[in-house]
A and B are shown apart, each in its own frame.
Chain A
Amino acid sequence: MKQILTLMSFLLCIQVAVAQGSISGNITDDEGVPLPGATVLVAGSNEGTTSDFDGNFSIRANTGDVLDFSYVGYKTVSVQVENQDQISVVLIADNELEEVVLTALGIEKKKDDDLSGTSVVEVDQLQRSGETGVLQGLSGKASGVQITRNSGDPGSGAYIQIRGQNTINGNNSPLIVLDGAPISNDNIGGSTGGVVQQSRLNDINPEDIESVSVIKGAAAAALYGTGAANGVLVINTKRGSKEAKGWSFNVKTSLSVDRINREWDKQDTWGQGYDGIWYDEPGIGYFVENTGFSFGDEIALRSGGADVYDTSGGYFETQSGRQIGAIDEKNSKKTYNQENRDAVFGDGYTWETNASFSYNSEGSSTYVSISNLDQQGIIQGASDYTRNTLKLNNDTQLTDKLKVKVSSTYTSIDSNRIQTGSNLNGLYLGYLRTSPDYDIRDYKGTNYRISDGVTTVTPNSHRSYRRSGGSYRTFNNETGSFSYAAPTYNNPLWTINEQKSVNSVERFSFAPELNYDVADNLKIVARYGIDFYQDNRVDYWPTGSAGDGSNGLWEENRISNKINNFKLFALGNTSITDDISLDYTVGYEANEETYRRLGAIETNFTNPDQVFLNTGNTTSENSNPDSYNQLVRKNGGFAVLDFSLFDDLLVQVSGRAETLSTLPGAGVIFYPSASVGYKITDLLSSDAVDFAKVRVSYGEVGIGANPYATSTVYGPGGVFSSWGDGLGGYLYGNPFTQSASRGNPDLKEERKKEYEFGLDLRLFDNAITLNATYYQSETRDGIIALPIPGSSGFTTTLQNAAVISNKGVEFDITGRILRTQDFGISVNANFTQNRNIVEDLQGSAYSILNGFTSTSSGIAEGFPYGVLRSGVYERDNGGNYVLNSNGFPNAAAEKEVGVGDPNANFRAGFGLNIYYKNLSLTSVIETSQGNDVWNGTYGVLHYFGIHENTAVKTVNDTGGTIVNSFGTEIPAGATFRGYIEDFGGGPVAVDSEWWTTNGGGFGDVGEPFIMDGSWIKMREVSLSYNFTEAFVQDLGLTNLSLSVSGRNLFLWSAIDGFDPENNLTGASRGRGLEYFSNPGTSSFLTTLRLQF
């Protein structure tokens, strides 16, 4: 107080006048620039106001009151009212920026005292992004954090990775701590097929968030011990009004229009059918109905006019009554790429409405919000996501010493999902492969099949390009059941309109907390949190669907998850000597997670003629219940000691000791950490340096085993091939078998040890800030289902076998280029480089994480995590192709690890913020460079003759006869569909023979389809206008703003056809895979915010 009074004598210009009553004045910065919106509060009361546009204010106060003047980024000044009616104040920019980070326990700490590379995500940036999911909103906002989208489907989840991948078997999501209690960020599912899954973190309404800190380092996360190896995301929600008047009411409403951001181009010159070269006739093609190939005739050469049908064997009657028979003469020159596209894709819309009320009174603050998000996807069918949230936070000071804090949230989600990926029912799979001369729009009707003079009628027949007559059924008198002949792939319109994948989530979290002040310098906190969700999923594939759904399929899963967490800890501080002070935290935590799934699968619908969304439409042998239960507990004690020595030297040591239910053999596990920081501002004694600190830390964190990994078990048998055919044990007397994975009672925890070095700088009156961190970590004893030879009787054995290292650098930089009253420019940038290597895998050559037998993402000794493995062409010692007798490369029998690396060489984000008067413009550009992707779609579109590359006609101008990969001769001067290439043995004809074998997507070689997936994205550009105070006040509001934003508007990437930021296998560990995944989106967004 003494210091402030001294300061006041410099700053205050006191004019004596009448006694108490109204006091007015002006607030400026040290350059005399008025500060609009600065807060003036009568200390200890609800009385308050804010300065107007010219920095003027007026407030009622009594003599003896203390007025607090505050403004973000400036030091707060307090002035005692004496007899003046005018008080003018100069606020000085705060060199010790009051920027705070959240510690792992969710407690605020000055960033200047932070000894880890914790990043704070600017919440206004997060909210301005307009992303419906918090995870996606974090994209590009902090160094060291990588967000990968599952797809552009409504409500789709995302993968978050902090400082590289550390674990193979354990959870790969960071620990999420919301208002002090851990919550789930499950991504259940995420494989090469199915639907695009959600991430449970996205259940949070972004508008409720007050602050997000990303704790990246092991030392800072160490007090969580097991489970913190992937970092910690600490999120606090809003707790009360910051307005001087004690309350505020905020409304936000936005509308977003979404479009596909990148699409595949399909050729439209050659029709469905076979290549003439298959009959030794190069350069032409033959129309063949129902084939998958588009190597048919040249569409332009057809006669024109309508196709001629033969209905003698039956026909398909469309819903409008048109009869479609087998094509007798293909005459039409019409192509349908555009019509088909427009039938499937269009604009998507997202409406979002938020209302929140916050209130402060003496001893209590309350925040209540309600929100609704309604997203209709770009897919013009059952693709949507509706999220409703309700939030109530309350802090009440019960007595002088006792405070109660309650945080609660309820979320309800209803969503329709679309089948994607490697899946005969997948949207893109059927859509992209459809021949250009096939109209998909009459996808549903009635099939009339005439066989031996008898007409069989099949209602709800499914028609697609590989079964143009539509699905039909026969009735088996012996078994009393229908059997359907279905298309090979779904018509995309069948996928999006007739099939259903409905998902509904109910979630609540409730976290009460008691704070008891034992003494001025000691507080005890008891905190409980429960986070519960139920995720109900149903899939309905009507009869006539492709693949396993041909006779109908119903699947239902009811998943619930509950996290119970209890913490009891003491926070205190004490002075050890005059120069050494200590802040300490000591506590205990118990955590319990219960997961349950109850499901049923039914096939072979008894009554297929009605949409029936329930179990019970089949016989008992075709109805299978299935359930899974899991209970995991851990508990332990922790202590954090923060020493401050001689003001400039900061030392932190922490430890956690705990036991885990999943590792009964591991006993008590201890994780230590230590950090040292030294503020070197004074040493540098440079006027340019406002603040400088160097820091170094070491920490250990861990990951437990999956539950039940310690024993080898038996269960019901059954055998299935990798193609999906098999014998279900449940239909064959339910025989038992021993698991193919061998348990290990001696498992212990995975342990990540990390060193971190950092530098935090603020220069030139805080115009520039820089946070730089170098880290190096190693996970030892990584638990892996280590592949062992199947001939041993097991295919995997669980072992503490892997060693994974990560090292990298992170930079976060902000720069204020210009700041005046009316105009300002600032920039910010972040840069991340991470190098990851799987150092040891105990001799096992490769272990798949996700993907296909042909190409997969996995781990291998000496390669980065997620490395791609694929079939390659055989090469000699000189690296030349080994050619077959036709001059084409042979496939090597063995697959090669390291044909691609899905990890980026570096990632960076760049933001620009400009304001001019009430108008502000912000933009964020983000990039990822050097990340490889397996473009499986590209290869397969060659196989089918759909890719534009296959629509080329070439004259054999080599002067001699050349052959294609089958050996078919193409004489000199002849034209063929394809192009000439030389693999090292002279010119050869690359054509459908090559694309349908080892030169295409279904060959044994994935090598040609591994591509550089680097991208640069205009992540956001946003223009906002804050309406003038006069205008706003006339409306009875305190604030009104309108903003227009674009998200992912531009994408620069050499990759063809899809957004390389998406990943087929979603938030799973397998990265860098693309195979007919649903497309990504870009959006235009309009947001209106009102504040009362």
Chain B
Amino acid sequence: MKLKNLYYLIFASLLLVNCESYTEDLNNDPNAFTVAASDLLIGQAQLALIQHMGSNNARYSAVFTNQMSGGDRQYLTLNTYSPNRGNYNDMWNDTYTQGIKNTKIILADESAGGTILGIAEIIQGTLFADLAALYGDVPFTEAVDAEIINPVYDSQSAVLTGAIAQIVSGISKSGSSSIAAGYGGNRLSGGTWAEAGNTLAARYSLLSGNYSQAISYASNGISSTANDLVSQHGTSLDNRNLFYQFAIDERQDYLVATDAHSVNLLNGTTERALETPGSSAMFDSYFLVDGQRVLLNTNNGGRFSQTSAMKIASYVENQLILAEAKYKTGDESGALQHLNNVRADLRVQYDAADGFPDSAASGATLLKQILEEKYLVLIGELVTFHDLRRTRNFIGVPNKPTGSTGASDFPQRFLYPQEEVDANDNIPSPLPEFFDVTAAFTSY
């Protein structure tokens, strides 16, 4: 063996190295797609909307607002208003990456039609507005931009304004398309996107303190309970009502209503601002008594049964937006009318002719009746948490640990999630704390 032979061998093996073709073109994922039409993406944005309004966010809100109670394990700590940034990672991330992102992809689709663009814009505006309501300043103008890793935070008021404009723009594009025909599929049902969009625009206008604008949108809002924008559910493991899934399938005993203010109002322990014999029927619809405990009514026929729809925007909310906004703009008779519209609806809903008598109140009593009515008819809806803070606890909800009824005795915001704190250089500094009031909700 001469050295020459060795060189041959080295040469030969280097030649073999160039077998690049052996490893080429194998890295295209056979398990995933690289394209998806807008018509397919809109459904995911809708699921993200349902989740934002009805999953963790709604449960935390229900506990913070004393509509429900933490009953077991981590939820007992939640019940003490202990701050924990880790709690907010999942919903924040899903709202941005599953909700807002898919709507942005649709809005950038040049071949997309007006209806889908409008729906995408309504959903995107709603999610942005609700994030701002929950967290205060949030990424908006730079959010979900492929070029930007660390989006800046826009002020809460700017986001609300911009988001409402998106919803309004969306309404104009989606026209009179019904929810069912407008990609609602088996996810969403209701009247038209325009109706729902107007109620949502009214909700966030009210949150911005712009009462006249709220009246204007709500006037074109959801016109009947039958037209409520709601989620649809089934009996399979992964399409049940989200409260049911949480309370029965995933985390039994975590979320209850024992000692909750809503329970006390409905069972007569605490006197209601507006006398309501039908409270017990409402109680039975929402809750179940189990010994010393009060549970969510997850039975068939209950509000939180497997197949119960979850409301995203509703006729009763729309009426109570009008009632409050008109009250705040000096139109007490108008306000009373809208409150009584809700009472009329409840009489039908609970089939109780005498259960929900009309109100004849005026002044602060009327306002309290309106807000308390809203607190009860929207049990389990995220907007209650916004209202409690926005109205500076006008209706005097006692806080969980001490029972005090001050305006600031409740968490004033969701905490910026731990993962956002970890990664985004542009997050506000110093970080606002749990009981720091957001700019939009400082006074009422």
Contacts and interface: CB of A to CB of B under 8 A. Distances in A.
A996 interface: yes
A729 B44 contact: yes
A635 B19 contact: yes
Interface stretch (B231-239, B323-331, B369-377, B384-392): B231-239
Contacts of A719: 44, 47-48, 50-51, 55, 94, 98
A722 B89 contact: yes
B86 A570 contact: no
A570 B6 CA distance: 9
A518 B82 CA distance: 77
A726 interface: yes
Contacts of A521: 1
A708 B148 CA distance: 23
Interface string A845-860: 1100000011000000
Contacts of A587: 13
A714 B41 CA distance: 10
Interface stretch (A199-207, A258-266, A544-552, A977-985): A544-552
Contact of A854 (B55, B72, B86): B86
A732 B86 contact: no
Interface in B81-111: 82-87, 89-94, 96-98, 100-102, 104-105
A708 B143 CA distance: 26
Interface stretch (A156-164, A232-240, A495-503, A654-662): A654-662
B31 interface: yes
A958 interface: no
Contact of B44 (A518, A717, A895): A717
A78 B250 CA distance: 76
B253 A488 contact: yes
Interface string B116-158: 0000000000000000000000110001111011110000000
Contacts of A1004: 77, 82-84, 86
Interface in A721-761: 721-740
Interface residues of B, number: 116
B187 A604 contact: no
A637 interface: yes
A466 B402 CA distance: 30
Given A548-B249, A893-B83, A894-B421, A998 B32 contact: no
Contacts of A787: 419, 422-423
Contacts, number: 352
Nearest to B100: A793
B2 to A, nearest CB: 8
A329 B326 CA distance: 58
Contact of B102 (A590, A713, A737): A737
A639 interface: yes
Interface in A164-178: none
B14 A637 contact: yes
B354 interface: no
A248 to B, nearest CB: 38
B16 A637 contact: yes
Contacts of A633: 22-23, 26
A698 interface: no
A717 B43 contact: yes
A728 to B, nearest CB: 3
A664 interface: yes
A725 B55 contact: yes
A683 interface: no
B250 A736 contact: no
Interface in A979-1001: 996-998
Nearest to B143: A791
B36 interface: yes
B429 interface: no
B247 to A, nearest CB: 9
A590 B22 contact: yes
A713 B47 contact: no
Contacts of B401: 966-967
Contacts of B12: 586
Given A731-B234, A966-B401, A998-B82, A725 B143 contact: no
Nearest to A602: B237
B52 to A, nearest CB: 9
Interface string B415-442: 1011111111100000101100000000
B9 interface: yes
Contact of B14 (A573, A657, A708, A892): A657
Interface stretch (A436-444, A475-483, A811-819, A1016-1024): A475-483
A1002 B73 contact: yes
Contacts of B33: 713-715, 736
Contacts of A572: 1, 6
A793 B144 contact: yes
B325 to A, nearest CB: 31
B423 A735 contact: no
Contacts of A380: none
A853 B89 contact: yes
Given A713-B33, A725-B249, A732-B186, A791 B22 contact: no
A739 B32 contact: yes
Contacts of A736: 33, 36-37, 40-41, 43-44
Interface stretch (A507-515, A624-632, A772-780): A624-632
A662 B237 CA distance: 37
A789 B23 contact: no
A485 B298 CA distance: 11
B143 A792 contact: yes
User: Which residue of B6, B143, B246 has the most chain A CB atoms within 10 A of its CB atom?
Assistant: B6
Chain A CB count within 10 A is highest, among B29, B91, B245, for: B29
Contact of B238 (A488, A713, A718): A718
B281 to A, nearest CB: 19
A425 B320 CA distance: 45
Given A622-B237, A725-B55, A629 B30 contact: yes
A800 interface: no
A604 B235 contact: yes
B186 A733 contact: yes
Nearest to A944: B73
A788 interface: yes
B34 interface: yes
Given A726-B238, A790-B92, A795 B249 contact: no
Given A732-B239, A738-B105, A547 B250 contact: yes
Contacts of A231: none
A995 B20 CA distance: 61
A584 B433 CA distance: 67
B248 interface: yes
Contacts of A476: 235, 300
A870 B252 CA distance: 25
A998 B77 contact: yes
A954 to B, nearest CB: 22
Interface string A333-364: 00000000000000000000000000000000
B406 interface: no
Nearest to A657: B17
A729 B187 CA distance: 10
Contact of A728 (B42, B235, B239): B239
A638 interface: yes
A845 B425 CA distance: 10
12 contacts: A519-B1, A628-B31, A710-B27, A713-B33, A721-B56, A724-B251, A728-B236, A736-B44, A790-B89, A792-B151, A794-B97, A893-B415
Given A730-B238, A893-B85, 7 more contacts: A634-B23, A707-B27, A738-B101, A740-B98, A793-B101, A845-B422, A871-B84
Interface of A: 288, 292, 466, 474, 476, 479, 481, 483, 485, 488, 518-519, 521-522, 547-548, 550-551, 570, 572-574, 576, 584, 586-588, 590, 603-604, 621-622, 627-639, 657-664, 668, 707-708, 710-711, 713-715, 717-719, 721-740, 787-795, 797, 843-846, 853-854, 871, 890-895, 943, 966-967, 996-998, 1002-1004
The 6 closest A-B pairs by CB, nearest first: A735-B43, A728-B238, A790-B93, A713-B32, A708-B29, A717-B44
